[in-house]
């Protein structure tokens, strides 16, 4: 591996980074640093490599349990904090805001890391595994990386929202009267406050939810307070592109999608509509799950990993 600067990471007393972790900062072409973490298996035992990418307002540590599940299946694992969140560099001085001008910036970061770090250091098959916003970005990356990936897995990908028309209207009407780095009007930024478990839309598992809160308490700057006008417009543009992209529809990449029918964060019906157009895709619907299926109760996670194992069996 190249000699990049070491990066910090968070651990709890009873929740540690999987054994063998390497955490580094990698400078992008514009000088912004991306925090990346990776784990390697013995070449003789390796099943391949998984690029595991999180959603909006998440960070690598939240996925230590999932990473261990992949390591137990003999996969090398690579994951990084998207620019503007986690411990990666932000685009504006107010690090509490989710800000990006255009998702093409995320595309460029992903392409740089695939071409100059992942492909040079990790074996195939190469599996892209993205949750929520990460799923959206991994799906749209097929335009450049269809031949680089051997399979695509998506967990509750951000392909639409329940109240998308209202969100678009608010964003459109606020454009002339607010700056792009202002919080989206009516979005109710949490200003660093914790959401009680009973009010959360992410998971039914109390312990896993509390675990994330404990990680944030160690380093509150690792999470964001709310979204900006620029970020919402960037999302709207990316969703429009995906819905009109024949490259994605015509892709023959083997694709598996985990979809929560009771999801209150993203639109599960829009996921079905978009993914069903892909030639080699399969959707696994989950009843009674919230948005973060990988952070759900064991009964749902067991189903997810059983489907994963079947999916990768012939790669």
Please, is 313 exposed, middle or buried when counting C-beta atoms within 10 Å of its C-beta (0-12, 13-18, 19+)? exposed
Q: How confident is the model at residue 203 (pLDDT cuts 50, 70, 90)?
A: very high
| Predicted confidence (pLDDT) per residue in 131-189, tens digit | 999 999 999 999 999 999 999 999 999 999 987 777 777 666 666 668 999 998 877 89
With a CB cutoff of 8 Å and minimum separation 6, the contacts of 39 are 18, 20, 21, 22, 67, 71, 76, 77
Can you give the pTM of this predicted structure? 0.96
| Phi, psi of 312, rounded to the nearest 5 degrees | -90, 0
* Per-residue CA distances from 196 to 150, 201, 210 (Å): 40, 10, 9
177 and 279 Cβ atoms separated by less than 8 Å: no
| Predicted confidence (pLDDT) per residue in 236-273, tens digit | 999 999 998 888 989 999 999 999 999 999 999 999 99
138 and 154 Cβ atoms separated by less than 8 Å: yes
Q: Which CATH class is domain 5-312?
A: alpha beta
With a CB cutoff of 8 Å and minimum separation 6, the contacts of 278 are 248, 249, 251, 255
With a CB cutoff of 8 Å and minimum separation 6, the contacts of 25 are 4, 5, 6, 7, 33, 34, 35, 36
C-alpha 240/C-alpha 238 separation (Å) is 5
Q: How confident is the model at residue 55 (pLDDT cuts 50, 70, 90)?
A: very high
* Per-residue CA distances from 233 to 85, 98, 164, 171, 294 (Å): 18, 12, 12, 7, 28
Residue 173 has what pLDDT? Answer: 66
C-alpha 21/C-alpha 9 separation (Å) is 10
| Predicted confidence (pLDDT) per residue in 91-131, tens digit | 999 999 999 999 999 999 999 999 999 999 999 999 999 99
Break the chain into its structural domains and give their ranges. Answer: 5-312
């Amino acid at each position: 591996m190249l000699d990049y600067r070491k990066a910090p990471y968070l651990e709890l007393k009873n929740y540690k980074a999987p054994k063998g972790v390497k955490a580094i900062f990698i400078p992008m072409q514009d000088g912004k640093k991306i925090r990346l973490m990776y784990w390697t298996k013995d070449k003789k035992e390796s099943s391949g490599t998984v690029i595991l990418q999180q959603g909006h307002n998440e960070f690598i540590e939240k996925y230590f349990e999932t990473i261990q599940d992949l390591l137990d299946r003999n996969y090398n694992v690579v994951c990084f904090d998207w620019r503007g969140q986690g411990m990666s560099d932000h685009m504006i001085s107010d690090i509490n805001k989710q800000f990006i001008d255009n998702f093409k910036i995320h595309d460029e970061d992903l392409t740089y890391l695939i071409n100059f770090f992942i492909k040079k250091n990790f074996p195939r098959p190469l599996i892209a595994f993205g949750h929520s916003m990460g799923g959206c970005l991994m799906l749209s990356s097929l335009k450049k990386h269809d031949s680089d990936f051997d399979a695509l897995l998506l967990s509750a990908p951000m392909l639409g929202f329940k109240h998308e028309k209202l969100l678009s209207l608010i964003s459109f009407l606020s454009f002339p009267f607010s700056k792009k780095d202002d919080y989206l009007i009516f979005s109710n930024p949490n200003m660093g406050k914790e959401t009680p478990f009973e009010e959360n839309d992410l998971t039914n598992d109390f312990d896993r939810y509390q675990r994330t809160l404990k990680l944030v308490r160690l380093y509150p700057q690792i999470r964001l307070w709310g979204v900006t006008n620029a970020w919402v417009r960037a999302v709207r543009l990316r969703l429009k592109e995906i819905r009109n992209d024949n490259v994605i529809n015509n892709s023959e990449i083997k694709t598996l999608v985990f979809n929560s029918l009771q999801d209150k964060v993203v639109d599960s019906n829009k996921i079905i509509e978009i993914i069903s157009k892909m030639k080699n895709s399969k959707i696994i619907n989950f009843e009674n799950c919230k948005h973060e299926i990988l952070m759900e109760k064991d009964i749902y996670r067991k189903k997810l990993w059983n489907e994963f194992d079947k999916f990768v069996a012939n790669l």
